[in-house]
A and B are shown apart, each in its own frame.
Chain A
Amino acid sequence: MNRTTSRSQFPAWLLLALMIVITGCAKKQPPPPQAPPPPPPAPTASISASPNNIEKGQQTQLSWRTDNATDVSIEGIGAVQPIGSQMVTPEQSTSYRLVAKGPGGQQDATARVTVTQAAPPPVTEQPVTQTDEQWFSQNVRDVYFDYDAAAIRPDAQQAITAAAQALAQKPSFKIMVEGHCDERGSTEYNLALGDERARAVQNALVAAGVNASRIKTTSFGKEKPACTESNESCWQQNRRGHFVLTGK
């Protein structure tokens, strides 16, 4: 914003001169020189992550320590106390950089956390009961019936044969066969029909070689449905003989 009109040049020169003189005057008396203060100690910083090798989804603990710092922060976290620790759950491998600033300068440190994909399920054995029930429900499957019938139909026979074979592998297993009905029909009669179904399954198992003393039967009629929709597909699911592991 220099106005360089010939008219204003004269007052500008005058102003400049004045300014030099004035400032010169102000600085006429510089303070006596002092000894410079000793330089402040430099900040220190250290950070570590424990463990520094984790699976995705796991946590790790960051611990850090700083000295002589007034402004401490960790990248990705923000301002933190000079000394502290924090749990973090990085999604992927991360370097956590600690920056400590102080009057003496700045210091930083880094901790690296390596995140690996989920490890394969440990090969070690699960507790015994869990396996047995899982095995049982996979290998001894429900048997299905026709409407108002307790007769074993071909697909039911296959399921029973497979169940008998499975039970042969676990000779100590004892089972309960529950008979169930769909929601139609009367409460009391369905209790009896469920009982017939359970005993039909029991008889078929015995015929397939399972010792009768291992099998008990009961009926829940229509009181414990597997599903509650009012359509044939759900009704078929409910007309079943269901197996329960009761002893090993």
Chain B
Amino acid sequence: MFNRLIVALLLLSAVAVAQEDWIRTGTGLGVEKVRIAVPDFKPTSTEPANAELLRTFNETLFSDLNYAGIFDVVSKSFYPLQTPGFPQEINLDAWGSPPPSASMVAFGNLGKQGDSLQVQGFLFDVKNAASPQVLGKQYREPATTDNARLIAHRFANEIILRLGGGINGIAESKIVFISTRSGAKEVWMMDYDGAGQRQLTSLRSISLSPRLSPDGTRVAFTSFVRGTSDVSMYSLELNRMVTFPRFGGTNVSPAWSPDGKQLAFSSSMRGDPEIFISDANGTDTKRITAFKGSDVSPVFNPKTGSQIAFVSGRTGLPQIYIMEVDGTNLQRLTDTGYAVSPSWSPNGQFLTFAWRRNYGPGAPGGQDIYIMDIANRKWVQLTHGSGINDYPSWAPDGRHIVFESTRGGSTQIWSMLADGSQQRQLTAAGKNQQPNWSFR
């Protein structure tokens, strides 16, 4: 019996030892961005149509990784002359040495075989000659330019997920927004990088403040199609409007709870504009603010679903507040200027909003996008006096923000990293405003 015990203990300890690998590391050893090289993929087909698909794929992949916010993508001018397409073709030394000095290489091959597009993608750790492969993926879709883009987005997302500490990439995410380019303000949708802009509604009225549902199937927005402003609902699955109850007064700025079961919006159905919560189909409305002064632009904490940030003019100019979903524990976050359009970060810790800290005719400074740490109220300014900036919306990776800006002369949609860098314009036709990033 005693022997058996010893054996059992030994076995246990052996198992325990075998299962416990140790990592020892610490601060101060470098938190730099991953230096990744993204050479063009190698074509495996000589069909003339392949060139176009390959080009779209390469551009999309490079752009996705460049814009991910976590990589230092090595410039193509530093790449060695090889174009590896398969694992046995890559010479890690050449990629790891200067001038590229990369830590990671994403490479692969792409070819149109008949009607389908076949892509193999690899991610190699340059420093690990013994077992360099971090990722090996295979994709096969009907051969269209859109699918070349789609596969590139998917592969980029895999890389971002793997090297970015478990946060999903946004390469397949969408942005809904308002555009005037068809002649009236309608709800439109586009890819996160501005590709594929398409019109959703054709109401020929005024549409405002679109918001995608968490499951991506519906867009809630404000519509004037019946003469006064109503919360309205568009179904992306049915490609048409679906019914939503009308309330009296001015009903604006709908926002989704993270479980998709509730909407918060502002309504003056009972007097002055207050924040209401209803079910996702507009029933069971409950008022949760009750203070004289416009309350508008509610948004749920996407991490917990139990708090709402909103804008209130109860003290005069609009300021940002947060409260529990039952209206308790009201806290004021800004105490000066004109603060509007809050959006909550996916991790629940930050708000981004538009702020004019010095307000009034002739006051210095403009209206810019800020982020604020809710726990300690510290804020950072992200845009600096270029045009009027408004309506920021946080991306699901917590790393990007999309917003509207008049800096080019007309109101357009821009996106940037959540530290204010890499600001880029996404729209150009007509006037475009009020972007909202999908939940995924």
**Residues of A bordering B, CB below 8 Å:** 147-148, 185-189, 191-196, 199, 217-220, 223-224
Contacts and interface: CB of A to CB of B under 8 A. Distances in A.
B208 interface: yes
Interface string B250-286: 1011000000000000101001110000000000000
B268 A195 contact: yes
Contacts of A147: 361
A223 B340 CA distance: 18
Contact of B294 (A192, A218, A220): A192
Given A188-B208, A188-B341, A223-B208, A218 B296 contact: no
Query: Which of under 10, 10 to 19, 20 to 34, or 35 or more describes the interface residues of B?
Result: 35 or more
B434 A218 contact: no
A217 B206 CA distance: 17
B208 A187 contact: yes
A218 B222 CA distance: 13
B273 A195 contact: yes
25 contacts: A148-B317, A186-B318, A186-B391, A187-B390, A187-B391, A188-B253, A189-B294, A189-B297, A189-B340, A191-B229, A191-B250, A191-B252, A191-B253, A192-B273, A192-B294, A192-B313, A194-B250, A195-B249, A195-B294, A196-B294, A199-B272, A217-B268, A218-B250, A219-B229, A223-B208
B354 interface: yes
Contacts of A186: 318, 340-341, 354, 390-391
A195 B271 CA distance: 9
Contacts of A191: 208, 222, 229, 250, 252-253, 296
Interface in B309-331: 311, 313, 316-318
A196 B271 CA distance: 9
Contacts of A189: 294, 296-297, 311, 313, 318, 340
The interface centre, meaning the residue of B222, B228, B271, B390 with most chain A CB atoms within 10 A of its CB, is: B228
A188 B178 CA distance: 13
Contact of A193 (B185, B208, B253, B313): B313
Contact of A188 (B224, B227, B311): B311
A220 B268 contact: no
Contacts of A199: 268, 271-272
B222 to A, nearest CB: 7
A218 B338 contact: no
B103 interface: no
A85 B322 CA distance: 84
B224 A220 contact: yes
B209 interface: yes
Contacts of A187: 208-209, 390-391, 433-434
A196 B272 CA distance: 7
A20 to B, nearest CB: 97
Contact of B229 (A148, A193, A218): A218
Contacts of A217: 249-250, 268
Given A188-B266, A217-B250, 8 more contacts: A186-B391, A188-B252, A189-B294, A189-B297, A189-B313, A192-B252, A192-B266, A192-B294
A192 B310 CA distance: 13
Interface in B329-351: 338, 340-341
Contacts of A194: 250
Contact of A185 (B185, B253, B272, B338): B338
A186 B356 CA distance: 11
A111 B389 CA distance: 75
A147 B316 CA distance: 12
Please list the 8 inter-chain residue pairs (A to B) with the smallest Cβ-Cβ separation, ordered nearest first.
A192-B294, A218-B228, A195-B250, A186-B340, A192-B273, A192-B296, A219-B250, A191-B252
A194 B340 CA distance: 16
